[in-house]
Amino acid sequence: MESPYYLTTPIYYANDVPHIGHAYTTIAADAIARYQRLNGRDVFLLTGTDEHGVNIERVAASQGVSAREHVDRIARQFDALWSRLDISYDRFIRTTESAHHRAVLALWQRLQASGDLYRATYAGAYCARCEAYYQPDELDRGLCPVHALACDTVAEQNWFFRLSRYQDALERLVRDTDFVRPTSRRNEVLAVIRDGLRDFSVSRRQVRWGVPVPEGTDEVIYVWVDALANYLTGVGYPDDSATFERYWPADLHLVGKEIIRFHCLYWPALLLSAGLPLPRQVFAHGWLTKDGKKISKTTGNTIDPSALAAEFGSDAVRYYLLRATPFGQDGDYTRAGFLRLYNAELANAFGNLVQRATVLAHRHAGALSAEGAACGPELELCAEAEKLDSRVTAAFETLALHEAVAAVGEFVTAANRYLQVTAPWQLAGTGDARRLGVVLRHTLQAARLAARWYAPIIPRAAAEASRRLGVTRVEVGPPLFPRYSC
């Protein structure tokens, strides 16, 4: 029996409503989870919201509400979006939960016991949106390198973590294993390590909204230490040792490329210090732009994933995000590109295959039981079917999600081509029930196989297709994907 499979999205910062980037990461994680479950794995998918820090305090104050009221509202919106997009998570964690506070404090105690925490004074640039300090050489023309905004100037005494102690161990981890993927991100992390790792501050004095440092000081634990600990909390640490031992270490942390420093350097160092096993892999995907421009609420260049799902259905959103961009690279969303993929590959290809297969089988049900020999077209279709399983498996196992989607799509194209070559609508007129039966059975089986492998990608349509293509009774329904005008 295969071991359990534990994967995570980042927990999303609850400063604002969810956007298409959040949807991209979470849909990818859900597709991986569904694929693993399809293969019989015991899967645990964790997502949630990161709800502490000075930026939350500031946003809530600007809206005239408490920090608690603000994060409660944002968490509900994230959860509602995941429901709309058919995200099959096993736990939605919030860092304001009491269980998570216990996990953060348990981790803190381990860090203290290791001797890796010490008092020092920090003075320099701090980005409230990143919740991160930056050295002068890390700034971009004096601005935050992620948000291109001015940083606060901060000077205060904090607790620091001895990241520098783990310089050699982290270099070996990143250089000699597949801990960081894809290769471009791995190289970025190695460059940071080789520049020399600096100890970093793990507490904040001028913040109230967070997990208090246990020594009775007026400090809270740094939000990134707090947030990263969610991966432990999610599977029972420190309260439920049986669940924790079952699922930890995580098989995969799926993150955006902007937070690789925290996940690929801070996180493994904290775990090494705490004496806890390291996750097996961190995969950092690229960013999405819209119409070639950065997605920005300020400029109005945004995409509402909930509105997109309401217009086209959750499957269409999932399909586009998984298909349009090689996973790991940056991608650009355009409405025209969305509609082209939808019509060509969902409506005209998979939807059309299911519709033709069910209509023909229902109309000529008597021929399904007629025995006949397979010919050249059937052998070619079966050869394509035999290749499909290995192609999809290889793509998912290497997280080449776009290749998995493309592989199923190419098989669907082969099945539609088979229909054109065999022309069962013409066979029905000849009275050759045996040949017609062979063609109908192969068409149905091809459509069932496509639905099976599309299940992690477009779960609603795949489930409905499988229902209509049932082994004992075939049903006809409306088009799975109505066509849209471009």
138-196 pLDDT per residue, tens: 788 888 887 777 888 878 889 999 999 999 999 999 999 999 999 999 999 999 999 99
Residue 130 is a catalytic residue: yes
Domains in the chain, start-ordered, CATH in brackets? 334-468 (1.10.730.10)
Apex 30 CA angle, 400 and 478, nearest 5? 100
Q: What percent of the chain has pLDDT over 70?
A: 98
Whether the predicted pLDDT of 23 surpasses 70: yes
Specify the 3-state DSSP secondary structure of 339. Answer: helix
Tens-digit pLDDT profile for residues 200-228: 999 998 889 999 999 777 899 999 999 99
Which residue in 293, 294, 375, 486 is the catalytic one? 294
Burial of 456 (0-12, 13-18, 19+ CB in 10 A): buried
8 Å CB contact between 214 and 159: no
Which residue in 52, 70, 101, 144 is the catalytic one? 144
Q: What is the pLDDT of residue 1?
A: 62
Q: How many CB atoms lie within 10 A of CB 124?
A: 16
CA distance 223 to 211: 8
8 Å CB contact between 25 and 292: no
CA distance 69 to 41: 38
Whether the predicted pLDDT of 298 surpasses 70: no
Query: What stretches of 332-476 show up as alpha helix (H) in DSSP?
Result: 335-341, 352-363, 376-397, 401-422, 424-430, 433-454, 459-468
- The rounded Cα 202 to chain-centroid distance in angstroms is 28
CA distance 52 to 208: 9
Residue 144 is a catalytic residue: yes
8 Å CB contact between 44 and 84: no
Residue partners of 269: CB distance under 8 A and separation at least 6:
161, 163, 165, 166, 169, 170
CA distance 167 to 280: 19
Residue 294 is a catalytic residue: yes
Which residue in 52, 70, 100, 127 is the catalytic one? 127
Q: What is the pLDDT of residue 130?
A: 72
DSSP state of 154: E
Residue 486 is a catalytic residue: no
Q: What is the pLDDT of residue 146?
A: 74
Q: What is the pLDDT of residue 20?
A: 93
Residue partners of 125: CB distance under 8 A and separation at least 6:
133, 134, 135, 136, 139, 144, 151, 152, 153, 154
CA distance 177 to 173: 6
Peptide bond into 238 cis (omega under 30): yes
Residue partners of 115: CB distance under 8 A and separation at least 6:
162
Which residue in 293, 297, 375, 486 is the catalytic one? 297
Segment holding 108, helix H or strand E:
helix 98-113
Residue 293 is a catalytic residue: no
User: Mean of the per-residue pLDDT values for the chain?
Assistant: 94
Phi first, then psi, for residue 40 (nearest 5°) are: 90, 10
Residue 264 is a catalytic residue: no
Peptide bond into 277 cis (omega under 30): no
Which residue in 52, 130, 151, 402 is the catalytic one? 130
CA distance 106 to 192: 29
Residue 442 is a catalytic residue: no
Residue 387 is a catalytic residue: no
Phi first, then psi, for residue 34 (nearest 5°) are: -65, -40
The two structure tokens encoding residue 359: 């209509």
Query: What is the reported pTM?
Result: 0.93
